[in-house]
Structure 1
Amino acid sequence: MKIALPSRQNLIDDHFGHCEYFTVYTVNENKEITNGETIASPVGCGCKSNIAQTLAEMGVKVMLAGNMGDGAVRVLGNSGIEVIRGCSGDVQTVANNYLAGSVTDSGDSCHAHEHECQH
């Protein structure tokens, strides 16, 4: 399984659609990170780009994110990627906390930035 985190300087970026890059971790059956890589963020808004399809084709099943609008959650979900919002801090710490079962979805959608995806 792979998990992705919208990142900026090794921290969760609060703005999914404008993150610097995505950190992608490969996780084994023992819930241990076995590999990490970064994927360049597409130019433009995340929910209108092909990032969901790109990540899904890589095998990503979970997105650990800060804030994200409903449109992006829907696009990722349609690509088979579960979204967990409300994450913050160091990407590897967040990933390890998720694997330990201590991260849950905040359910909060980022409504203030929805207009950014309407270009």
Structure 2
Amino acid sequence: MKIALPTRDGNIDDHFGHCNHYTIITLDDDQNIVSKERMDSPEGCGCKSDIAPILASKGVKVMLAGNMGQGAVNILQANKIQVVRGCSGPIDEVTAKWLAGEIKDELIVCNHHDCGHH
């Protein structure tokens, strides 16, 4: 399974659509991390880009994010990517907490209006 984390400076970016890049982590069947890769973020807001189908085509099943608008949530879910909002901090710590079952979706919808979707 693969999970994606919107990343800036090694931390979860507060707003997924404006992240510097995505860190894609591949897990084996025992949920051990087997690889990490960086995927540059497309230009523009995530909810208006084609990032969801790109991530889905790479096998991403979960997005561990800080905050995002409902439009982005809908697009990710339509591409069969589970969204977990409310994450913050270093990506390695967030991944470890999620794997330990300590992180659940906080149902946070962003209040940024610069994407025109929210």
TM range (shorter): over 0.9
Q: Matches of 2:67 and 2:50 in 1, distance apart?
A: 19
Quick check: 2:47–2:115 contact (8 Å CA) kept in 1?
no
TM-score of the superposition, structure 1-length normalised? Answer: 0.95
Alignment size in residue pairs: 117
Q: Which residue of 2 aligns with 1:7?
A: 7
Letter paired with 1:7: T
Go from structure 1 to structure 2 and tell me whether the alpha carbon gap of 1:20 and 1:75 turns closer, same or farther (over 3 Å shift).
Answer: same
Indicate the RMSD between aligned Cα atoms, in angstroms. Answer: 1.0
Matched residue SS, 1:24:
strand
The 4+ residue runs of structure 1 with deviation greater than 4 A are: none
Deviations 1:60-114 (A, max 9, x none): 000000011000000000001000000000001101111111110111100x214
Q: Which residue of 1 aligns with 2:57?
A: 57
Q: Which residue of 2 aligns with 1:72?
A: 72
More helix by share: 1
Quick check: 1:45–1:117 contact (8 Å CA) kept in 2?
no
Go from structure 1 to structure 2 and tell me whether the alpha carbon gap of 1:114 and 1:75 turns closer, same or farther (over 3 Å shift).
Answer: farther
Deviations 1:4-23 (A, max 9, x none): 00000110000111000000
Q: Which residue of 1 aligns with 2:81?
A: 81
Deviations 1:34-72 (A, max 9, x none): 100010000001011010000000000000000110000
Gaps of 5+ in 1: none
Gaps of 5+ in 2: none
Quick check: 2:6–2:64 contact (8 Å CA) kept in 1?
yes
Post-superposition shift, 1:115?
4.3
TM-score of the superposition, structure 2-length normalised? Answer: 0.96
Matched residue SS, 2:96:
helix
